[in-house]
Amino acid sequence: MGYKVAIAGVTGAVGREMLAVLERRNFPVDELIPLASARSAGKTVTFKGKQITVQELTENSFDGVDVALFSAGGSISKKFAGACVKAGCLMVDNSSAFRMDDNVPLVVPEVNPEAARNHQGIIANPNCTTIIMLAALAPLHNAVPIKRVVASTYQAASGAGQAAMDELADGTRAYLDGKDFEPQVLPHPYAFNLFPHNSPLMDNGYCEEEIKMVKETAKITGDPEFKVNATCIRVPVLRTHAEALNVEFRDAMSVERAYELLKVAPGITVFEDRANNRWAMPSDVAGKDDVYVGRIRIDPSQPNTLDIWVVGDQLLKGAALNAVQCAELALDCVPS
C-alpha cells in the first residue's frame, strides 16, 4: 500500500532532508506533494529521479493526502493544522507549536513508539537536542532508571535553518579574507566564535532551548523523576550537534554495562579509539542517521554517575529522520 505524502517547507534545510530520508528508507510514497511559500512555488525538487514542481501551501493542500511532514515554522504549523487534520491527513510537525499540547504525542521512536500510534491527527517532533540526548540515553534508562542529567550542548548552525548555515559560511569566508561582516540571522559573529543559544531568555536565566530539553524529556519519558539541567551553546559547526551528558542513575550502572547496552541499541553507534584519544566529532557524524556515543567514564565526584559524549546530525535524527520514523510508526510502515 502506498501513500500520498506532502512535505510543507520542502525547500528548507530540514524539508530537503525529509525528501531524501523518504527516498532512502523507501517509504511507500505513491504521490509526493512538495509544498512551500508562494515565493518558492514553481521551483522543482527531485524525488526518485523525477522533477516535481513545488506548490504553494494553502488550506486546500491536504485533500486526499495521507501524511504531511511539516518543517515550515511554528506559525505556519498552527495556521494549517486545522485544515490538515480536517482533511484526514496525519500531520507530523517539526516545530515547537504542539510539543507541549496534552492532546499531541511528542515522540522519539526509541523511547515512546507507542505514542505515535495513539495520535489524534498530529504528532510532534521534539527539539533536536532532546531527540539526540534521549535516543542515546533510552537504552540505559530502560535498564537502570536515570535520576538526573546535566547536559551541555554544542549546537550547529542548522538548528537555526539554512540561512544560519549560509551566514556561518559567509562569515567565515569574510573573517579569513579580513573583511567586515555583519550577521543578520544570528545575534553575534559566528565564525571562530561561540555563544549561549540565541533563543529567548526566560526570567529564571535559562533560555527557551534549555527549558525545552527539561519539559520535553518529562513528557516523552513520562517519568517525573527524570530531571534535566541544560546549558545550550551555539558553536561554528554546520549541521551536527554534540552533547556532554553527566548522567546520574538511581542505582549502579557500570561503564562496561553502559557500553554493552549501547552497542546493541538501534540507531546508536559506539565510536571511539581510546588509545589515540579519538571520539566522535561533528565531521564524523554529518550525514549519518545514527547517534554516535563514546567516552563513557565514571564521574568520581558522586556515586552512580557516568559522563557520556553524544553526537548526532541535527538535520537527520534531530529533525527529518525522527519525523519520518514517527510517520512509519503511525502508519505501520516497515522501512526497507
Give the model's pLDDT for residue 1. 73
Secondary structure of residue 93 in the 3-state scheme: strand
HSE at residue 54, side-chain half, CA atoms within 13 A, is 23
Catalytic residue, from 119, 141, 197, 241: name it.
241
Residue 233 grid coordinates:
551553546
Task: Give the span between the Cα atoms of 292 and 231, in whole angstroms.
Answer: 20
Give the model's pLDDT for residue 333. 84
Task: Give the span between the Cα atoms of 198 and 206, in whole angstroms.
Answer: 11
Give the model's pLDDT for residue 233. 98
Sorted by sequence, the CB contacts under 8 Å of residue 40 that are 6+ apart come out as: 11, 54
Number of H helices, E strands in the chain: 9, 17
The model's pLDDT over 9-43, given as tens digits with 9 standing for 90+, comes to 999 999 999 999 999 999 999 999 999 999 999 99
First to last CA, the chain: 14
Sign of the alpha-carbon dihedral angle for 301, 305, 311, 313: negative
Catalytic residue, from 84, 89, 119, 128: name it.
128
Asked if residues 91 and 304 have their Cβ atoms less than 8 Å apart, the reply is: no
The model's pLDDT over 201-228, given as tens digits with 9 standing for 90+, comes to 999 999 999 999 999 999 999 999 999 9
Asked if residues 88 and 301 have their Cβ atoms less than 8 Å apart, the reply is: no
Question: Residue 128 pLDDT > 80, yes or no?
Answer: yes
Torsion of CA 328, 308, 237, 318, to 10 degrees: 10
The model's pLDDT over 283-295, given as tens digits with 9 standing for 90+, comes to 999 999 999 999 9
Sorted by sequence, the CB contacts under 8 Å of residue 290 that are 6+ apart come out as: 267, 268, 269, 312, 317
Q: Please report where in the chains the cell 512509519 appears, as a residue.
A: 328
Q: How many CB atoms lie within 10 A of CB 13?
A: 25
Establish whether 128 is a catalytic residue.
yes
Go through the domains of the chain in sequence order and give each one's CATH number: 3-126+319-331 (3.40.50.720), 130-314 (3.30.360.10)
Q: What percent of the chain has pLDDT over 70?
A: 99
Question: Residue 336 pLDDT > 60, yes or no?
Answer: no
Torsion of CA 71, 222, 229, 302, to 10 degrees: -140
Establish whether 232 is a catalytic residue.
no
Task: Give the span between the Cα atoms of 164 and 170, in whole angstroms.
Answer: 10
Beta bridge partners of 227: 148
Task: Give the span between the Cα atoms of 253 and 60, in whole angstroms.
Answer: 53
What DSSP designation does 126 have?
P
- Average pLDDT of span 178-201: 95
